Structure 1
Amino acid sequence: MKVIAAMNMTLDGFCDHTYGNATPELHQHYADMLRGAGAALYGRTTYQLMEFWPTVLKNPTGNKEMDDFAVAMDNVPKVVFSRTLKNLDWHSARLATKSLEEEVSNLKRQATKDIYACSPSLIVQLTELKMIDEYQLCVHPVIAGSGLPLFKNITDQVALKYLKTKPFESGALVQYYERITN
């Protein structure tokens, strides 16, 4: 099983959920991804943003793709890395008890499905640890100009092999790359 970095970003490389266009097509793409995931890894900030989705479960929007995404998000096992959170209220989430490297190594040994890293900070740390097998980067057709850069503080070059691109009507593109190992 693979460890996959999955992230939305702007054309100029910034991560901010408010810059993308969350179309029904994109919600469906990510719901499908989560249904095929063995686990989703989150840092505290991104996890707290995702806590919006249980409210959609309780009060569906009527938008099929958005409501389906909420169900998929609720069902996927989530592992949250935080130094400040002491407990989680989401039934499918747990706090990591070991280091990122140990948790991911253990998950990978036990996995029957791919593991998705879904927070910029975890993607950077896992990239530095050479633990990301594949990158699935959804690039939205917007230049933000500023924000949180996805690959902030990467110190070594990472060689990637292009796999494919998945285009969306909104102009967003998911670009798939695998890490080239030496």
Structure 2
Amino acid sequence: MRKLVAAINMTLDGFCDHTAVDPNEAIHQHYTDLLNSSGVALYGRITYQLMEYWRPLVNHPTGKSSMDDFASAINQIPKIVFSRTLKNVDWESAKLADQDIEAVVAALKNQPGNNILACSPSLIVTLTQLNLIDEYQICVHPVVAGSGLPLFKNIDKEIRLQLIKKKTFDSGPVILFYEPTKDTVLKTM
């Protein structure tokens, strides 16, 4: 059975803001490796449209290997986009979800293959509420943004996690790898 992994960058004060963090070469390499070792990436509309930034770099590389390798990895991984407003997607490796998120994830988990990535704050919240995430990989950057989109916005239940490992980058960010505890009881706060 495939695992569903929530992978995301956030600031020290808990906000998801790609403009506030420094995705240096080592971090790009980590996410390139994660994409290359995964079977599919799930996106919400906003994050999907942000990721489209990488499409032109496949045909027009920057010359910076960490960025170009990431562009190639994000281009190749199959993507499923959950959106109420998009009518189509034209990225060759992407498709719009044709069922609700719970049905799509259940079907994906039962298929053979590599892990499933959840890469959007909104999807991570929804999947957390549905108790479907098997592992969280949260890259905490040493930046206090002060405001923005909180990662766990609208979570109204206590969810207990267990740290299974961490990865520290020389530039300061730390990826914390968590699994929901086996005895987790989601209780309303």
Give the structure-1-normalised TM-score.
Answer: 0.98
Q: By how many angstroms is 1:169 displaced?
A: 1.5
Q: How does 1:171-182 map to 2 (within 5 A)?
A: 171-182=172-183
Which structure 2 residues correspond to residues 1-182 of structure 1 after superposition, within 5 A? 1-182=2-183
Q: Which amino acid aligns with 1:29?
A: H
CA–CA distance in structure 2, aligned partners of residues 181 and 43 of structure 1: 28
CA contact (8 A) 1:11 1:140 kept: yes
AA aligned to 1:102 is: A
CA distance in 1, matches of 2:112, 2:125: 22
Name the amino acid aligned to 1:10.
T
User: What's the offset of the Cα at 1:180?
Assistant: 1.1
How large is the Cα RMSD of the aligned pairs? 0.7
Aligned equivalents of 2:145, 2:21: Cα separation in 1? 10
- C-alpha displacement of 1:111: 3.7
Q: Secondary structure at the match of 1:138?
A: strand
Contact 1:35 1:76 (C-alpha < 8 Å) held by counterparts = yes
CA–CA separation in structure 2 for the residues paired with 1:9 and 1:38: 23
Separation of aligned partners in 2, 1:59 and 1:17: 22
SS in structure 1 at match of 2:157 = coil
Deviations 1:48-70 (A, max 9, x none): 00001111112100000110000
Corresponding residue of 2:187? none
Deviations 1:77-110 (A, max 9, x none): 1000001111111000000000000001111111
Runs of 4+ in 1 over 4 A off after TM superposition: none
Report SS of the residue matched to 2:113: coil
Q: Give distance in 2, aligned partners of 1:150 and 1:172.
A: 16
Report the Cα distance in structure 2 between the residues aligned to 1:104 and 1:111, rounded to whole angstroms: 13
TM-score, structure 2 as length reference: 0.95
Query: Partners of 1:111 and 1:8 in 2: how far apart?
Result: 28
Tell me the amino acid that sits aligned with residue 36 of structure 1: S
8 Å CA contact 1:38, 1:111 repeated in 2: no
Which secondary structure does the structure 2 equivalent of 1:110 belong to? coil
Give ranges in structure 1 of 5+ residues lacking alignment: none
Separation in 2 of the partners of 1:90 and 1:111? Answer: 24
| Identical counterparts, % of pairs | 57
Deviates more, 1:110-119 or 1:27-36: 110-119
Aligned residues: 182
CA distance in 1, matches of 2:74, 2:27: 14
How far off its partner does 1:116 sit? 0.6
How far is 1:155 from its partner? 1.1
Per the alignment, in what secondary structure is the counterpart of residue 52 of structure 1? helix
